[in-house]
């Protein structure tokens, strides 16, 4: 008698059921992880922009600004060229990723400005970001200009 090797239909159904259960359990966790990762990335991107602009202000002995807009969920940078009449600025807008929004801004007029010494020209403040799960990350900038991320 010849033996036929392979899987039975019952074995295939059991394997498919196990895979289905594993997917049902892991999918919500993967979605939550992705949303938290997007929030962390957006927060780090804003902090890196703040640090780069502060360094640029000191290096070029000029004034730089970051304006946060909670309505459109974006922020823009303004780099003022030193010695240019009329105060022309190079403006770059940065939108936040989908699902991430600005929840609170404590900078005066939603504006963070660094002077040529790297100090905040409008005082200390913070900006808070929130994702769809309600997780909040906050970027705090004291008057000395050294930004940090808090939860």
Residue 22 is assigned to a structural domain of this protein? yes
To which H or E segment does residue 37 belong?
helix 9-60
Q: Quick: pLDDT tens for 76-102.
A: 999 887 655 556 788 999 999 999 999
Per the structure, the count of domains in the chain is 1
Q: Establish if 133 belongs to a structural domain.
A: yes
Residue 52 lies in a domain: yes
Task: Give pTM, 2 decimals.
Answer: 0.79
Nearest one of 109, 75, 68 to 93, comparing CA atoms: 75
Note the pLDDT tens digit of each residue in 44-80: 999 999 999 999 999 988 889 999 999 999 999 998 8
Task: Please give the span between the terminal C-alpha atoms of the chain, in angstroms, as a whole number.
Answer: 69
**CATH code for the domain of 97:** 3.55.40.10
Residue span of the structural domain in which 125 resides: 9-150
The full 3-state SS of 77-121, as one line of letters, equals EEEECCCCCCCCEEEEEEECCCCCEEEEECCHHHEEEECCCCCEC
In a domain, 14, yes or no: yes
The answer to whether residue 3 is domain-embedded is no
The answer to the question of residue 1 being in a domain is no
In whole angstroms, what is the distance from residue 130 CA to residue 36 CA?
A: 9
């Amino acid at each position: 008698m010849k033996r036929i090797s392979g899987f039975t239909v019952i074995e295939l159904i059991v394997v498919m059921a196990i895979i289905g259960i594993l997917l049902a359990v892991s999918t919500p966790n993967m979605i939550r992880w992705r949303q938290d990762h997007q929030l962390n990335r957006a927060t780090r991107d804003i902090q890196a922009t703040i640090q780069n602009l502060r360094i640029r202000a000191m290096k070029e002995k000029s004034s730089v600004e970051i304006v946060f807009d909670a309505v459109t969920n974006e922020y823009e940078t303004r780099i003022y060229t030193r010695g240019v009449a009329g105060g022309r600025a190079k403006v770059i807008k940065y939108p936040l990723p989908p699902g991430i929004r600005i929840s609170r801004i404590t900078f005066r007029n939603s504006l963070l400005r660094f002077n040529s010494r790297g100090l905040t020209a409008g005082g200390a403040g913070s900006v808070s970001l929130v994702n769809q799960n309600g997780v909040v990350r906050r970027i705090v900038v004291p008057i000395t200009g050294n930004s940090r991320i808090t939860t």
